[in-house]
Structure 1
Amino acid sequence: MNQKAIVIFDIDGVVRDVSGSYRRAIADTVEYFTNQAYRPSSLDIDQLKSEGVWNNDWEASQELIYRYFNAQGQSREQLQLDYNSIVAFFQSRYRGTDPDNWTGYICDEPLLLQPSYLEELTQASIGWGFFSGATRGSANYVLVKRLGLQSPVLIAMEDAPGKPDPTGLFATVEQLENGLNETPAIIYVGDTVADMYTVSKAREINPHRTWIGVGVLPPHVQETPVRSHTYGESLLTAGAAVVLSNVQQLNSVKIEEIVSSQ
């Protein structure tokens, strides 16, 4: 059976709403390591991520801490932040303190798609998988435990360099194609500038294939029309072919429409 297209999903902000989990953990971590002097707002975090290189939330937390102290006149060399301590604190908030029984913010993440949506793609001969900067444990928590997917194709943080490096995207495609002869269009669905840059870089490295970036507005930016518009524009500027307000709008009809317009 010929695949009409392959859709690869980012997870955070696309499959699950992380505004009250990952993003809350960033704010908690920055607040803790600045001795309660600074708690970044949702806009502060968006602004950092719009630079396109802060896909890793541990590194984003560290960068916000550095920038706060830099603004107070302290240099990075003076600070000597302990990255492992930042990661450990972040994880204690996001996963909880018990490594075997997670009780942190991850437990309360609203889902942004249903298994029936993925089933519809399968019925329409559209392959799908996941490439995410989340850890494998965190990604599987939502894909397997909450969505009930059986062994989904997944490239996670441990498997590839961070975005916008497209290595993980290539690896996901390779697993999904599994020796297929045809080369269907590849759609990568993400909610950040880094996700769209990943598609551009994939195109530079392998221009013989069709690479399409589809942007999704994460829930936290949809609170006001102005913020939705500004965020959507940043995704389009970064290379998105189209920006949707929910991933499930990318149904088989929409996919065919987007692929044929390329």
Structure 2
Amino acid sequence: MMGAKISAIVIFDIDGVIRDVSGSYRRAIADTVEAFTEGAYRPSQDDIDRLKSEGCWNNDWHASQELVYRYFEQCGQARGDRPLDYDALVAFFQSRYRGTDPNTMNGYICQEPLLVSNGYFDRLTDAGMSWGFFSGAMRAEAAYILEGALKLKQPVVVAMEDAPSKPDPTGLFDAIARIEERHNCHNNAPVIYVGDTVADLYTVGKAQQERPQRTWVGVGVLPPHVHHNLERQAAYSENLKNAGAAIVLDNVEQLTPEVIGEIVD
């Protein structure tokens, strides 16, 4: 049986696009680095941005570890001289982000402002577009925001446990396949991936290289922590464009069905 034709597939990153993580994930990074440098160094938002702009630190546990290592290298110590207990680092990070209660979330995740409304996804659906999520967040953390706060019903989500870290496009391909299977649609619709980091845009570029028969469009979104400073906005936007963003938006809801129609033509 032939399914309905989809005009476009839109896949969203979650952190910095769907929810503001400047006071949660990023705060947990800073807490973790400060703890594992024995209080000597707490990275700023700019420090984290500089690391993320390298395009290979999508996993915040790895990013935290790397910032710790780089601090000690700046102090003249080789990485081998400062072995880190990675499991302990992850546990500390999670105690800040998810919290200390094993049965419920009670950490920084509870304080994340939403950056999008439930109705936005209805508008995409009404315009004949399908959508889903590919994120480096863990499944439970993605569900907390998508199904809990946004009240989305069984959205297609590829999370940390499901695929290699970005910029590997495996998770993006998986999200698309799940959407096409759910809608019984295989018309090779153009794909838009919406993200706020260089790694997100590199993911689109790698997808294009591996599957050039399809139209791939990267859309950048400026995360909230850069909005208060025009110079930072301009620099952050330029980094996203240099990484492959077709357009850079202030907020994801600016990516309307009309704008999507224009950029996939």
- Give the match's secondary structure for 1:37: coil
Contact 2:58-2:166 at 8 Å conserved across structures? yes
Task: With the length of structure 2 as denominator, give the TM-score of the two structures.
Answer: 0.97
Provide the C-alpha distance between the structure 2 equivalents of 1:153 and 1:181, rounded to a whole number of angstroms.
16
Measure how far apart 1:181 and its partner are: 3.0
Aligned to 1:191: 196
Aligned 1:227-246 pairs, distance under 5 A = 227-246=232-251
Query: Does residue 1:152 correspond to 2:155, yes or no?
Result: yes
Aligned to 1:176: 179
Provide the C-alpha distance between the structure 2 equivalents of 1:108 and 1:114, rounded to a whole number of angstroms.
17
Provide the C-alpha distance between the structure 1 equivalents of 2:55 and 2:237, rounded to a whole number of angstroms.
14
Amino acid at match of 2:88: S
Measure how far apart 1:108 and its partner are: 0.6
- 4+ aligned runs moved over 6 Å, structure 1: none
Provide the C-alpha distance between the structure 1 equivalents of 2:199 and 2:113, rounded to a whole number of angstroms.
23
Measure how far apart 1:78 and its partner are: 1.1
Contact 2:192-2:219 at 8 Å conserved across structures? yes
Aligned to 1:205: 210
Task: With the length of structure 1 as denominator, give the TM-score of the two structures.
Answer: 0.98
Amino acid at match of 1:156: A
Provide the C-alpha distance between the structure 2 equivalents of 1:10 and 1:101, rounded to a whole number of angstroms.
24
Percent identity for Structure 1 against Structure 2: 62
Measure how far apart 1:223 and its partner are: 1.1
- Give the match's secondary structure for 2:193: strand
Amino acid at match of 2:178: Q
Query: Does residue 1:12 correspond to 2:15, yes or no?
Result: yes
Amino acid at match of 1:18: V
Aligned to 1:62: 65
CA deviation digits over 1:196-224, x for unaligned, max 9? 00000000000000010000000001111
- Give the match's secondary structure for 1:130: strand
Amino acid at match of 1:74: Q
The RMSD of aligned alpha carbons is 0.6
Aligned 1:30-49 pairs, distance under 5 A = 30-49=33-52
Provide the C-alpha distance between the structure 1 equivalents of 2:146 and 2:101, rounded to a whole number of angstroms.
21
Measure how far apart 1:180 and its partner are: 1.8
Paired residues, what number?
A: 260
Amino acid at match of 2:177: E
CA deviation digits over 1:40-70, x for unaligned, max 9? 0000000000000000000000000000001
2:31 to 28, 32, 45: 28
Give structure 2 stretches of 5+ with no counterpart: none
- Give the match's secondary structure for 2:227: helix
CA deviation digits over 1:74-119, x for unaligned, max 9? 1111111011000000000001111212111000100000110000
Provide the C-alpha distance between the structure 1 equivalents of 2:153 and 2:187, rounded to a whole number of angstroms.
25
Contact 2:6-2:185 at 8 Å conserved across structures? no
Aligned to 2:87: 84
